[in-house]
Amino acid sequence: MTDEPPIIIDEDAAIDSAFFGSHAGRSCYARAHRSGWVLVVRQAVAQREPPMMLRVWSRVERVPDDDASCLALWERCANPR
C-alpha cells in the first residue's frame, strides 16, 4: 500500500459533480478511493463560475455523514499539525 495520494481523473470529477448535483444542500462529502478516502469540499467562487472542488486524501478509520463533521475532518486532513 502506498502513501501517495490518488490522481484525480475525469471519472472521479464526474462522480463528485454528480454527488453535489443530487445533494444541493451539501458542501462536503467523502468517498472511498483505493487505500484511503477522498474528502471533497465544494466551494462557490463566483456566481457565474462553476464551483471549485477542493480535495484532500487521507487514511482515516471513519468518515462522517454530516456536512459540519465532514468539513472539520477535511480541515484537519488538509492542514495537519
- Residue 18: CB partners within 8 Å, gap ≥ 6? none
Average pLDDT, the chain: 89
Q: What are phi and psi of 80, to 5 degrees?
A: -65, 150
**42, three cell numbers:** 465544494
Place 31 in a pLDDT band, splitting at 50, 70 and 90: very high
Three-state SS letters, 9-38: CHHHHHHHHHHHHHCCCCCEEEEEECCEEE
User: How many CB atoms within 10 Å of residue 8?
Assistant: 16
pLDDT tens per residue across span 12-22: 999 999 999 99
pTM of the predicted structure, to 2 decimals: 0.84
pLDDT tens per residue across span 33-45: 878 899 999 998 8
